[in-house]
Structure 1
């Protein structure tokens, strides 16, 4: 956090001074701290990227016959940032309608669909492809597949 504050307030040289003793005489690592990237721009990009990943995970699973329609909130860090994410994770699983919205800026949490049991799904898929009737695959076929094909 101190490095981020130093970078935002004073630029990459301030961060380089804080870490100068770590790699004395080696300036190669300094090139990794770009001077033309604004922290607020990175924050906005990261936030929009992960918000869209959460939404696309829900949308793609909703048309996947192998998904159950339930979703887990998965935290990407074990640190407590005093945000809603630990509670969101503890409240899993969710339906598509009840998944909490994007929690906060810089949130890297993901939404993970819960899949059907593999063996049972393969058994159902084989039965369906041989002319049998499997309700959830029939629903998928008539509501999604026919429109996409």
Structure 2
């Protein structure tokens, strides 16, 4: 078992089963989103190649080229819309996965303690609102002056540009429409290297104008933004959880060499443990694109939390932090 999973189990303690389930769900979502995005690029490229094949073995002329430019424009618009839908779906799923861990801890402890004045529907409503705010935060923040929706637009525009470059390269080589269609299909399925081997003249003209993997930039954006959504939700969940003592960041074993991740996950600046930060002092996460470092809440263990809840329900001021949570967080939902 990987070192980071061992660390996750250790920090989760008796919650390790739930923590591992959340991590597995996060990885499963990433893999499925990768597949969905790749399939989207394949589908749209197939739309383009089908239009080319309608022209048969004839070579390009001005009319055909102008028609293909309009086809490319339509596929760009479709890509923008479908990527937006995809990101909305997976942002919501990652947020719910992250907050579900903290929500389950509270509900389970309250039920074990037999406390009636904390009601399950209210807790569920509280986390529903947390989820809404976390999703909104993902779409509201900017990077380099761009909202996520703007960045999705730029990836869609880049797709059209890359497809245009390949078609123009085919025109310069005097290729017929069917051969060009096959080149597009090979490229989206196998990448630039295969295209260079099978169409050396065309690719020599384009050189660095076409990326190795047509969908890579969208995949990179998706991985980064979904990790950010998970992190945003983890921190937001910690803010409303009476059992959360901090946010833990665990180094991924996939790092080939030390980087910023080591600096953040390997220090104890607050006396809370290595890689643990106060909720309101948590670093920006993910630490870099494609980051696989783990983030999770650090929670009071179930036995202690249940006993504290029991003391609080009998004598509220004996547990001031719980009373503060009840008055200023829970009752505001009620």
Normalising by structure 1, we get a TM-score of: 0.70
Confirm whether residue 148 of structure 1 aligns to residue 333 of structure 2.
yes
Inter-CA distance 65–144: structure 2 relative to 1 (3 Å threshold) = same
2:284 is matched with: 101
Classify the secondary structure of the residue corresponding to 1:97: helix
Q: 1:87 aligns with which of 253, 263, 282?
A: 263
Kept in 2: contact 1:57–1:113 (CA 8 A) = yes
Deviation at 1:86, TM superposition (A): 1.6
* CA deviation after TM superposition for structure 1 residue 78, in Å: 4.2
2:215 corresponds to:
38
Alignment of 1:52-131 (within 5 A): 52-68=229-245, 70-91=246-267, 92-102=275-285, 103-131=287-315
CA distance in structure 1 between the partners assigned to 2:282 and 2:226 by the alignment:
17
Separation in 2, partners of 1:146, 1:37: 51
> Larger C-alpha radius of gyration, 1 or 2?
2
- Secondary structure, counterpart of 2:280 in structure 1: coil
How much has 1:128 moved relative to structure 2? 1.6
1:129 is paired with a residue of what secondary structure? helix
Q: Distance in 1 between matches of 2:314 and 2:300?
A: 20
Q: Helix, strand or coil for the counterpart of 2:247?
A: strand
Query: Whole-Å Cα distance in 1 between the matches of residues 257 and 188 of structure 2?
Result: 25
Q: How many residues align?
A: 121
The whole-number CA distance in structure 1 between the counterparts of 2:278 and 2:259 is 21
Runs of 4+ in 1 over 4 A off after TM superposition: none
2:238–2:279: 8 Å Cα contact kept in structure 1?
no
Change (3 A) 1:131 1:37: farther
Unaligned residue ranges in structure 2 (runs of 5+): 1-186, 195-212, 268-274
Over the aligned positions, Cα root-mean-square deviation in angstroms equals 2.5
More helix by share: 2
Taking structure 1 as reference, are residues 55 and 81 closer, same or farther at Cα in structure 2, changes over 3 Å only?
A: farther
Aligned-partner SS, 2:253: coil
1:2-13 matches, within 5 Å, as 11-13=188-190
> Partners in 2 of 1:112 and 1:67 — Cα distance?
10
TM-score, length-scaled by structure 2: 0.33
1:136 aligned to 2:321? yes
**Structure (1/2) with the larger strand percentage:** 1
Residue-by-residue CA offset, 1:39-64 (whole Å, 9 max, x unaligned): 11011011000011111101101100
